[in-house]
Amino acid sequence: MDISVVIPLYNEEESLAKLYEWLVQVMNKNKFSYEIIFVSDGSNDSSWKIIERLQQSNSAVHGIKFRNNYGKSPALYCGFRKATGDVVITMDADLQDSPDEIPELYRMITEDGYDLVSGWKKKRYDSKLTKNLPSKLYNSTARFVTGLKLHDMNCGLKAYRNEVVHNIEVYGEMHRYIPYLAKNAGFKNIGEKVVEHRPREFGESKFGISRFVYGYLDLLSLWFLSRFGKKPMHFFGALGSLIFILGLGAVTVVGANKLYAIIHNVPERLVTDSPYFFLSMLAMVLGTQLFLTGFLGELIARNSNDRNNYLIEKEI
């Protein structure tokens, strides 16, 4: 099969039929073999009934229905597990992503050799204050942390080589950083394509300004896990040792000053009267706790089921 289209959705009853017709038109025009996987993320409107009706008229349509609204990442994860096409396309169901972009995305994967191609909505129709400006700040930070020079990492319109989606785990809110997950899994040929951003025709956005706050926290978590997830002692142990040594050195200086004063019969206040003594002891306690945190993290990592989960590209 050429293409699997994975579409997570939540209450998009108005746009589903039109999106389906547009997708089928593009697929037939380019003579692609395809499947369309709709993932209803706990929708409480008639979205699932529409998906059932579409499936009855076209066996290439598949549907997954969640009992609750779990979020976009779980929807993508389940869609990826079902995808069988050589190229997997993800897009939103609100008609802001254009299916006309699919042929070129497919070509970039199959002919140009990209593992992943991310869309870049260079011209947007969102509010500049609530969407555009926060998005630019968010993406500039993501570029700095991840090292990926993508202008719009969170764009829903993406194309993947099939093996990519089957070798990454999208969970929590990590759908924002799928290119970074792919990079960490060894798929480093990641490209970008300017895509059309269409005005929303129906309903309203399901994402608020809070997504940018959570996005930064998720980015920090993902960066830490990719760097120290399997070797936490390298981070906590090193930081704890440094803080402990600084505290030990400081308390040694305080004690040495007191000893010098006693030997030379020089008036000197009690060691416990010095704030440096308590700061030094605090540093030693914090250093010890951080070191023990790293030690416990190392024990957990060594007993984890995926401690030796490495991606093998080829065997001969």
What pLDDT digit, counting tens, does each position of 227-282 carry? 676 677 878 888 889 999 998 988 888 888 878 888 878 777 777 777 888 888 89
What pLDDT digit, counting tens, does each position of 130-174 carry? 556 666 777 777 787 788 889 888 889 999 999 999 999 888 778
Mean per-residue pLDDT of the chain: 84
Q: Which residues make beta-bridge pairs with 37?
A: 6, 62
Outline where DSSP puts E strands in 10-144. 34-40, 61-65, 87-90, 116-120
Cβ–Cβ < 8 Å for 38, 69: no
**Whole-number Å distance between alpha carbons of 222 and 171:** 11
Q: Quick one: pLDDT band at residue 213, thresholds 50, 70, 90?
A: low
Q: Which whole number is the average pLDDT over 105-128?
A: 87
CATH of domain 3-228: 3.90.550.10
Q: Quick one: pLDDT band at residue 315, thresholds 50, 70, 90?
A: low
Task: Write down the pLDDT at residue 78.
Answer: 92
Task: Write down the pLDDT at residue 131.
Answer: 59
Give kind and range of the element (H or E) at residue 191.
strand 190-194
SS3 state at 118: strand
Task: Write down the pLDDT at residue 207.
Answer: 54
Residue 76, CA distances (Å) to 39, 59, 165, 175, 240 in order? 8, 21, 9, 8, 38
Q: Quick one: pLDDT band at residue 307, thresholds 50, 70, 90?
A: low
Q: What is the DSSP letter of 113?
A: -
**Whole-number Å distance between alpha carbons of 71 and 276:** 50
Task: Write down the pLDDT at residue 313.
Answer: 54
Amino acid type, 134:
P
Asked whether the predicted pLDDT for residue 297 surpasses 90, the reply is: no
Contacts of 183 (CB under 8 A, 6+ apart): 146, 147, 148, 190
Higher pLDDT among residues 173 and 304, named by residue: 173
Asked whether the predicted pLDDT for residue 126 surpasses 80, the reply is: no
Asked whether the predicted pLDDT for residue 306 surpasses 80, the reply is: no
Cα separation of the two ends of the chain: 26
Q: Which whole number is the average pLDDT over 65-87?
A: 93
Q: Where are the domains positioned within the chain?
A: 3-228, 232-302
What pLDDT digit, counting tens, does each position of 2-23 carry? 999 999 999 999 999 999 999 9
Task: Write down the pLDDT at residue 275.
Answer: 82
Contacts of 177 (CB under 8 A, 6+ apart): 142, 146, 153, 218, 219, 222
Q: Quick one: pLDDT band at residue 316, thresholds 50, 70, 90?
A: low
Task: Write down the pLDDT at residue 149.
Answer: 87
